Amino acid sequence: MANKSALQLRFLSDINFEIALRYAKVPDRPAALPRPGAIKFLGLPRRIRKLETRVHPVYTNELPQQQAPYKLDAGEGARYVFGNQLATNIAAPSQLKQDAGGWLLTGAKGAGFPLHRHARTHEALFVIAGAVNLGLAGESFLLTPGDYVNIPPGTQHSYEFLDHHGKLLSWTFGGNAADAYGALGTRYAGTIYSEESEWIDWSRLDDCVDTEVLAASAAAPTYSPKLTSAPRGMLAFVLASGEGERMIAGDQLYTILGNQTHSSGVFISLLTEGPIGPAIPKHQHEKVTELFHCLNGRMKMFAGDRYVTLEPGDFLHVPPRTPHSFQLTKHDTRFLGFITPGHFEPFFRYLCEPFKGHRYPLIPPAFRFDRVIQHLAELDLTLLERPAGPPPQFAAAATKD
């Protein structure tokens, strides 16, 4: 269709599905080919499939008022100032179509949020920069870049910036706790916080906002150790930088920070890192939303109707039924992803192998996309193009079978 904002029909007719599957079978082969009727893949022989795909134009440096793909450059979003802190909204319920939100928080040394809790809202924090003193469920933690915090509803917590360059990424799901920043502050044109300390009227947080400020309690005398592996279940925890459940797929290292059990399936969070490599195949999801934060390096991403580049600090929102893919275009690229709902987690377990190392390997193992293809019927995943072929040393063997 000429109008790219309308539904667009996509199909591929030149793909031999069986060969594509056999290319992926390295080193082992599944016992039987998946039933063709269960394969959500465009271009099956004699079954050319048409797929309704929502192709919105990608908005840039603005928050659209509908569910559409958009990219925000570092520092962009709806900014609010309260006291000597800056809260930048990068996603809200109008874009996410659920009670959720994403915020970047910065502030002067000593600025923070007093002890509080959320009755319904689940919050996750990731430290982008600086040092932060975190109070969590009666304990104190020294947060540094790369640390991850899981905060289930009802958990008492607080934070305080310990230097002048602290930056926290906050994602909330299931409630409107993040409305606190708008209730406490005012819209702000600047891109850095004001160093002039102003009084904050915490009483503005009434019953309309799922954030209850509590009476201050004595801080723990010493910092508690951060975890190297996350517990199962909806528990409060702090995961140290570089730790988590690590898995490898080809030359890319995936580290699950928050799995389905930590939020009762509402979301998962994971880090992806690797060298320059090929793009993953274009695909889309029926219900899954993906939220990409580039931490270092550079990514080339396709979303909606075009390619965009993500550099450190940039954010990309990919809603359901949006064609997308990514490619790492600088060595040692690293990005953080939040995926909601969290039922997409099995995809990574089919694709990846458990990995004990903390960096991606110089000699990568085989890329096991064949296992993903075998389980497509149970995944919210539709491939829009053929996965990449095998490494040269495996191609000849695949075509001889």
- Cα dihedral 17, 320, 90, 263 sign: negative
pLDDT, tens digit, 9 for 90 and up, residues 250-295: 999 999 999 999 999 999 999 999 999 999 999 999 999 999 999 9
What CATH class is the domain 77-238?
mainly beta
Buried b (16+ CB within 10 A) or exposed e, 41-73: bbbbeeeebebebbbbebbeeebbeebbbbbbe
Mean pLDDT of 95-100: 94
- The mean pLDDT of the chain is 85
* CA 258 – CA 337 distance, rounded (Å): 10
Q: Which two tokens stand for residue 144?
A: 């540094």
* C-alpha span between 242 and 234 (Å, rounded): 21
pLDDT in tens, 321-359: 999 999 999 999 999 999 999 999 999 999 999 999 999
The CA-CA-CA angle for residues 282, 254, 386, to 5°, reads 20
Q: Which two tokens stand for residue 394?
A: 């495996």
Per-residue pLDDT of 104-113, as tens digits, reads: 999 999 999 9
Sort 2 into a burial class: Cβ within 10 Å, 0-12 / 13-18 / 19+.
Answer: exposed
Which two structure tokens, joined as six digits, stand for 182?
Answer: 């708008």
Query: Which helix (DSSP H) or strand (DSSP E) does residue 309 occupy?
Result: strand 306-310
Whole-angstrom distance, CA of residue 292 vs CA of residue 69: 11
Distance of CA 19 to the CA centre of its chain: 32
Are 1 and 9 in contact by the 8 Å Cβ rule? The answer is: yes
| Alpha helix ranges (H) inside 233-273 | none
* Paired tokens of 30: 């599944």
Which residue, chain included where needed, has tokens 């793009």? 279
Strands 157-161 and 132-136: antiparallel
* pLDDT, tens only, 156-208: 999 999 999 999 999 999 999 999 999 999 999 999 998 887 889 999 999 99
Strand partners, 293: 315, 336
For the segment 366-378, what is each residue's pLDDT rounded down to a tens digit? 888 889 999 999 9
Q: Which stretch of DSSP H or E encloses residue 252?
A: strand 252-258
* Among the listed residues 28, 43, 56, 121, the one whose alpha carbon sits nearest the alpha carbon of residue 401: 28
Measured distance CA(355)–CA(251) in Å, rounded: 12
Per-residue pLDDT of 31-73, as tens digits, reads 333 333 334 444 433 222 345 556 678 999 999 998 999 999 9
- Those residues with Cβ within 8 angstroms of residue 186's Cβ, 6 or more apart along the chain or in another chain: 80, 81, 82
Is residue 111 within 8 Å of residue 165, measured between CB atoms? no
Question: Whole-angstrom Cα distance, residue 205 to residue 213?
Answer: 8
Q: How many CA atoms lie within 13 Å of 174's alpha carbon, on the beta-carbon side?
A: 17
Q: Which residue has the tokens 């000849």?
A: 396
CA distance 40 to 48: 12
